[in-house]
Amino acid sequence: MCKVRVDAEDVEVEAGLEETILEALRRCGYAYRWGCRRGGCGVCKVDLLQGEVDYRRNVSELVLSATERDGGVALSCRARPRGDVTIRLRDERLKKCYGILAT
Amino acid sequence: MSVMRLGYVHVRVTDLEEAKSHYGNTMGLLEVANEGNKVFYKGWDEYDHHSVVLEEGGVGLVKLGYKVSESSDLDDIEIKATRFGATVERMAKGDNLSVGDGLRITLPSDHVVEIYHEIEYLGTETGRINPDPWPRFRRGVGAPRIDHALITVEEPALVERFFADVMSFMVSERVIVSNENPEVIGSWMYCAGTPHDIAFIKGPNGKLHHFAFALESWSDVLHAGDIFAMDDVPVDVGPTRHGITRGQTIYYFDPSGNRNEVFTGGYLTFPDFPSITWTADQLAKGIFYISRELNERFTSVLT
């Protein structure tokens, strides 16, 4: 298991080996801006402040350019943490969606 | 002359195997051919060779194909498109698998539209002699056919004029800024007696918002939704109803993030159909009649 920490939020979740950053946060009841969840639109891009990610599935250069990858941008619906990571959301706060169901 | 219908949608997909699983197993399209990095599909109720082409590499729209009723329509459209100022070239039989001679037109919005008259006839799954209403063994959604596409364009009024002047499409519905400011920010146009065979909304040139499959009924839309849950397909919006077209719908994403729609219902159009107007302040109701809310995703996710 790797830890996904969200910078500027007091939030840290664990991600399974096959889980992406977005899947791990969604499973724990968190939400932020995402689009197709299939790597096609780029809406869920986050900044990777620490750690490494990889992509099990193809990601189009049209969506995430090599320059962006090198500059620490991650496509969170497709990026799997390889070890603990810290990400920063872009111009938004993480939302806790389960509300009263949250434990 | 007449354009009869949207004949094919050709899109890019990042992973061909995942896309084949979606369009084959989930949508229930029939694979009719493959050629290099392309796979060709048709719905069970379509008689022409193919209606969906998947090409591996990237995301988004490669082109739309519209079928005309007479070969002389090609000459007529070529003249009109040239006069309009669009980029037109002749395409030859074989440029597209099973498709005959035709035109390849680049719209003012950079989208590519192909016009053709001939394509190989394969027939439907139920045949033409004493047919059953549907084939006994459908997979997943079991989509019978494609319906329309919605693209984004910087100048909707210009693209509307192209489809009206060159393709002889008519406007079924239009969104304008306000009664005082009639700038067009969206237009829905038909050639085939449907509410729309093409639609465009204001946005970046060259992008695909979605393409749609026609289903027979509202209960088929719900059935499609169940299939999306079973196959973990990300749903954008729905099931709900559109104000514009009155159709019933679910929007969802293919494995590359291209937005698809299952669509049913809507009214009939005729050559004398009087265009309907929506004002931008009522746009959310026009798009999603029941919730009257546009989500951010709906207006920001394009491929």
pLDDT in tens, chain B (303 residues): 599 999 999 999 999 999 999 999 999 999 999 999 999 999 999 999 999 999 999 999 999 999 999 999 999 999 999 999 999 999 999 999 999 999 999 999 999 999 999 999 999 999 999 999 999 999 999 999 999 999 999 999 999 999 999 999 999 999 999 999 999 999 999 999 999 999 999 999 999 999 999 999 999 999 999 999 999 999 999 999 999 999 999 999 999 999 999 999 999 999 999 999 999 999 999 999 999 998 888 888 999
**Residue B130 placed within a domain:** no
C-beta of residue B250 within 8 angstroms of C-beta of residue B261? yes
Residues 6+ apart with CB under 8 A from B203: B152, B153, B154, B209, B302
CB contact under 8 A, A34 and B14: no
Could you give the number of structural domains in chain B? 2
What range does the domain containing B167 cover? 145-300
CATH number of the domain bearing residue B240: 3.10.180.10
User: Which residues on B lie below 8 Å from A40 (Cβ)?
Assistant: 14, 59, 253-254, 256-258, 301, 303
Nearest CA in chain B to A35: B297
pTM: 0.92
pLDDT (average), residues A42-62: 93
Nearest CA in chain B to A59: B14
CA-based nearest distance A1→chain B, Å:
23
Could you give the number of structural domains in chain A? 1
Interface of A with B (CB under 8 A): 33-41, 43, 57-63
Told to judge if B209 belongs to the known catalytic residues of this protein, a careful annotator would answer no
Could you tell me the sign of the dihedral formed by the alpha carbons of A24, A27, A30, A31, in that order? positive
Told to judge if B196 belongs to the known catalytic residues of this protein, a careful annotator would answer yes
B272 & B212 share domain: yes
User: Which residues on A lie below 8 Å from B231 (Cβ)?
Assistant: none
Helix B72-84 and helix B156-165, axial crossing angle in degrees, nearest 10: 140
What range does the domain containing A56 cover? 2-92
Return the pLDDT at B267. 97
Of B192, B188, B178, the residue nearest B269 (C-alpha):
B192
User: Which residues on A lie below 8 Å from B57 (Cβ)?
Assistant: 60
DSSP E strand stretches across chain A: 2-6, 11-15, 30-31, 45-55, 73-75, 79-88, 95-96
User: Which residues on B lie below 8 Å from A33 (Cβ)?
Assistant: 296
The ipTM, to two decimals, is: 0.82
B109 & B227 share domain: no
Of A49, A45, A81, the residue nearest A63 (C-alpha):
A45
Of B99, B116, B133, the residue that ends a domain is B116
B21 & B84 share domain: yes
Cis peptide before B144 (omega within 30 of 0): no
For residue A68, give the H/E element and its range. Answer: helix A66-70
Told to judge if B50 belongs to the known catalytic residues of this protein, a careful annotator would answer no
How many CA atoms within 13 Å lie on the side-chain side of A31?
6
B206 & B107 share domain: no
B288 & B170 share domain: yes
Told to judge if B223 belongs to the known catalytic residues of this protein, a careful annotator would answer no
B31 & B150 share domain: no
**Residue A98 placed within a domain:** no
**Residue A73 placed within a domain:** yes
C-beta of residue B44 within 8 angstroms of C-beta of residue B31? no
**Residue B123 placed within a domain:** no
C-beta of residue B188 within 8 angstroms of C-beta of residue B160? no
B102 & B181 share domain: no
CATH number of the domain bearing residue A69: 3.10.20.30
